Chain A
Amino acid sequence: MLEQAVKGNLDKCMKCGICVANCPVANNTSKFSGPKHMGPELTRFRLDENITLEEQVDYCCNCRSCEIACPSGVKVSLLNAFYKSHLKSQQQKINFRDNLLGRPGILAQLGSINTGITNFMLKKDLMKYSLDRILGISKHSSFPPYQKENFIKWFGRRPKFSSSKKVVYFVGCSTNYNSPEIGKSVVQVLEHNGYEVIVPHQGCCGLPLIANGYLDAAKSQGTDNLTSFMPYVDKGYPVIVNCTSCSLTLKSEYHEMMNLSGATKLAGAVYDFSEFLRHLKQKGQLNTDFKPMPLKLAYHNPCHLKAQGIGEPSLELLQLIPQLNVFEIDQGCCGLSGSYGFKKEKYQISMHIGQKLFDTVAQINPDYVTTDCNGCAMQLLHGTGKKTIHPAVILAKAIEKV
């Protein structure tokens, strides 16, 4: 506990309450006392091993808004994640729902046995009602469809593009199974800029496991990913990630939270996809021969991108495309936070949190919404009905020959 408290910069907390004022959950439900209380305040009590179990920590959605706003650099989400894991380890009953939602890769593998049937069933009211009653997955949730051919299968059967310039690609569960077009676009843009893309064997980044309190299982996941990726990192290849939640996990949680061997070196090699392209642009190496795209887009900056302190590289790149009009939505958290918003008891909170975002999209009335996080994309589609496209897909379209 003491090690966790130190990692979380516990003593830097001056109890100013700025985290609480910025917490989307604490401002939308009375069931969560807020990051200051659940994080630094209770951690002080938890240093004494007689810990009272505060189940409301489960309402922390791990959006990191508290950390983003904290003027003192307290890692509140980290403290909450450690505690959630402790809480889960003390529970006698197995939580089937959280175990399932914490393993989207396994869920996707099962669902992909027959994507037609899976997708059909997930739309049915009876199925949604059953999931709601039996597992506690909200019947109001919309499930993204699984694609017949996932990205990794597609990548495996296509002709190889070779180059002396190489990157390794961490695909992420959602891109792989639900939105392979994002992965295809990432590959297309990188190859267009002369990079050979390598896709090592990989699993889920582990963030859903962390968010649901299964830190040990997340460590195991992380260790497997490190085993796959480190040989490439040791050769100096950048690791490209297109989902900002996955990239934050690889950059931050693997070493800060899980202390995995090699994690610090991996973190130094990880780039968000747009961050990497911006890096190329700064070196004068990005092909910016984009064709005009006369569209109106609304851009949502995900919480886990804000937490990375790298700015808004996607927005900077999209602004290079001629005739593309991009409006920044700038209305905070979408509310989904990965598996959080799918849970029955959290669904309404999630939708309240995202309401300002949805209303602003309606005001902007764009042709499409765009965002770097696959989770945010699901929530934006669910809350606005507007098609949401990843910036990689737009950039890929912009480089296609007329």
Chain B
Amino acid sequence: MAGLTAATKIAHSGKSVLILSQGTGVLSLSSGCVDILGKNHLSQLVQENAQHPYAKVGLELIQESCTYFKKIMAAEKQQFVGEYDKNFLLSTDFGTVRPTGLVPQGMAAGDVRLSGNTLVMGIEQLLDFYPQLITTGVNKIRQKLSIAGRWHWGGSLQLDLENVAQFTPVTIANWLEKQENLEQFIRQIKEIIKANEQLAIERIGLPAVLGNHRHSQVLQQLADHIPYAIFEIPVGQPTVPGMRVINGLTNTIKKLGGKVQLSSKVNRAYWEAESFAVEVDSPGRPTVFRSEHLILATGGIYGQGLTRTTERTVEPICNLLVSPLQEDNKNLLASRKFFTDKAQPYAYQGIEVDQNLAPLTGDHQAKKIKVVGRSIAGYDPVIEKNGLGVALATGYQAGKIIAEGGELC
């Protein structure tokens, strides 16, 4: 998210931008929503925690990045709703809930706090989607929150998927884009609604398979024929909503003349002859690409943007200094409990940056590097539930600085 957003902003300014990436990245594994606020009170966080990436970019820029994201995605026929300082509360496919900020229009009606009865339907062949698990979990939460109405399992659609390869959300989403298949889908939804008419439902929940590249057309046809609000629940890996976001950002970059080059793992980047030399691990011998600016959007420990030696955590591409473990956790890289509600010590490690997202330590060329997303020190996206929000805001900030040709502060 961070790299793609930065590249989009730069490409919009007319400057040339090249993304070098080992693969497609893990944005497609996300829910397709942007978690911004998470559990935090944003203005309080920004004031009290100067080390947090949100504090580096500021509230105004967080808001600006959300507006920008919504505008980009709308141009790609993906409407997003929501604000930077409010949460939706949506269901996961396990029946737990997740707070999130920017949400595709096709998910907005799935806020678990909306009163009234909801009918959740599955697809017989989509084995990883368990409507009963979802409704059981969500109803427990609704009961705690004293919300009127329940989520009901309505049944499963039995689609004619004979010619579909692999019953995954992606293949079903592609299947649904053919008119005759969508008509079959709508017919079966109507049958299930009729069979459950005693419930007086107000909305319908479905697995997130409502089209891949033609999502807006599929949503429109559903709205034209089904008289209830419909929402998707992301399921599987990768998720279709996650893939839509990647495709939307990538398409935008390419339309603006930017390049996205996969199969291009970067070994190292260094300053040479008044530019950055970025060395890609191509078969045979490295291929060097040159640029005036460098944005490091390689992720954290899971993404291999930060790697562990036996003694310390390092940033392997630019050899930037990684912040040490916090004083109170000096001898502990990870909590002893794997599933804990406490932040992991290693999570706060990363590159410490200034307000321009340049590394705090390093020579003057390091100032031309922008560090974005998970590579930045000072936060734990899992506990705080704000991973893509930080990625969006910092990616946008980095792109804006380069696009406008100067430092912001």
Contact = CB atoms under 8 A, between A and B. Distances in A.
A402 B128 CA distance: 65
B22 A27 contact: no
Given A18-B238, A20-B168, A21-B28, A311 B261 contact: yes
Q: Mostly helix, strand, loop or mixed at chain B's interface?
A: loop
A44 B171 CA distance: 26
Interface residues of B, number: 36
Most B CB within 10 A of own CB, among A17, A34, A248, A256: A17
Contact of A307 (B29, B168, B263, B265): B263
Contacts of B24: 18, 22, 69, 71
Interface string A41-79: 000000000000000000000001001111111000000
A251 B261 contact: no
24 contacts: A15-B237, A17-B237, A17-B238, A18-B23, A18-B29, A18-B238, A20-B170, A21-B168, A27-B166, A27-B171, A29-B165, A67-B263, A69-B24, A69-B262, A71-B22, A71-B25, A73-B265, A248-B283, A269-B284, A308-B263, A309-B265, A309-B282, A310-B282, A330-B254
Contacts of B285: 267-268
Interface string A1-34: 0000000000000011110111001111111111
B220 interface: no
Contacts of A25: 165
B164 interface: yes
- Interface of A, helix, strand, loop or mixed by DSSP: loop
Given A17-B237, A308-B283, A73 B168 contact: no
B26 interface: yes
B283 A34 contact: no
Given A16-B238, A33-B166, A268-B285, 18 more contacts: A18-B28, A30-B164, A31-B165, A68-B263, A71-B22, A71-B25, A72-B22, A72-B23, A251-B282, A306-B263, A308-B283, A309-B261, A309-B263, A309-B280, A310-B282, A311-B18, A311-B259, A330-B254
Contact of B283 (A16, A252, A306): A252
Given A72-B23, A73-B265, A309-B264, A268 B243 contact: no
- How large, as a class, is the contact surface on chain A? 35 or more
Interface of A: 15-18, 20-22, 25-34, 64, 67-73, 248, 250-252, 256, 267-270, 306-312, 330
B198 interface: no
A250 B28 CA distance: 33
A272 B222 CA distance: 49
Contacts of A307: 263, 283
A28 B23 CA distance: 22
Contacts of B237: 15-18
A252 B282 CA distance: 9
B236 interface: yes
Contacts of B236: 17
A71 B26 contact: yes
Contacts of A30: 163-166
Interface string B212-234: 00000000000000000000000
A71 B22 CA distance: 6
Which residue among A71, A73, A250, A311 has the maximum number of chain B CB atoms within 10 Å of its CB? A71
Given A29-B165, A267-B285, A309-B280, A21 B264 contact: no
Contacts of B243: 21
Nearest to A356: B213
A389 B303 CA distance: 40
